[in-house]
Amino acid sequence: MFYGRSAEKQKFNRRRNKTFLMAKQMVHQVSIEEFMEYRKKLPVFDVRSPGEYKDGHIPGANNLPLFDNEERRIIGTLYKKSGREAAVYEGLGIAGKKLQTYVKKALQLTKTKELLIHCWRGGMRSESMSWLLSTAGFRVHLLTGGYKTYRSYIRRLWEQKSELYVIAGKTGSGKTEILHFLKEKGQQVLDLEKIARHKGSAFGAIGQQQQPTNEQFENDLADHWINLDFQKPIWIEDESLHIGRVCLPDTFYWKKQASRTLLLDVPKSIRIERLTKDYAAFPKELLIESIGKITKRLGGQNAKKAVESILNDDFNTAIDIVLGYYDKAYSYDLTKKESSMIDQMDCNTSDPKIIAEDVIQKFLWDGKPEK
């Protein structure tokens, strides 16, 4: 009898070891460069907590948290008070109850049972989830260094040699629309305001979705940047360092500041007409709230008159007052650029398509901006 039990135990251990070996073989450690290639065709699973994921995540990644926010807090507190072993033991107890749930969710979001996984630093959370999914038959690619490595990687992207060409002009010049027409003409365009979900001014949030966190904005911006052809011109709109509550990466901002800039000189009357068309349809309370954000800069009397004009449906007057501040601010910002890098183009039309065609005719030759 004893021999029989021993034989069964040995048989069980062999099966278990074989399972662990097979699982280990199904987990493939990958570098950040390999990871970025794999993610073009494979789903990404971020096993950090929902709170970490919300603060910033790799665009397109699915959140498959090993621990929710409260569970992560409990384990973190235990780690500080009682050490790693106690935290690991508690984590096993929490995760052990949800193993089937993890596998089911992964199955729902994959087609070929092959996927990418990462946590914050490529530690126990991603290793544990990789082991679980690999034992369930998944082919797992585990990012070495985790999300922290990804963040370091995208910060280096802005050092990439590139040719930025900046469309500048005072508020209401139609810069965004001009970029859209340049894109239709086959030019490479990086729409910073679209990625930031904000138009840049105190009125910039009106009609937009909620802005991403600054970290997520950087991730989203990098995802667009990495897909550009750096041998060709890249057109962007002139933006300040801050777009709403998000901030351009420093390296990218100073690259923009040193780039050739096309300054559109659009008459104020045309700009007022365009801005009235863009904003008059929005609720008046939103416009008045936005004026409140710049009351000190406008001056009390000007702000009061602008609000009264909106209430009386005199949007032209309100916008004229607001532009008094923004035009001065924009002119000051231009002084921070090297004047030799600024080219000016007079624009006496409100049609952004015509202006875009003039830009191409005047500044492009054989597909490349003239020097």
- The Cα–Cα gap between 172 and 347 comes to 12
Q: Residue 133 in contact with residue 106, Cβ under 8 Å?
A: yes
Q: Which residues are catalytic?
A: 119
Phi, psi values for residue 291, rounded to 5°: -60, -35
Kindly give, in sequence order, each residue whose CB lies less than 8 Å from that of residue 65, ignoring residues fewer than 6 positions away.
46, 47, 48, 49, 50, 53
- The Cα–Cα gap between 138 and 113 comes to 5
- H helices within the chain, ranges in order? 2-25, 32-38, 50-55, 69-82, 84-96, 99-108, 124-135, 146-157, 175-184, 192-196, 214-225, 250-257, 268-279, 284-293, 295-298, 300-311, 315-334, 352-363
Q: Is the dihedral of CA 208, 209, 213, 215 positive or negative?
A: negative
Token couple for 149: 């490595």
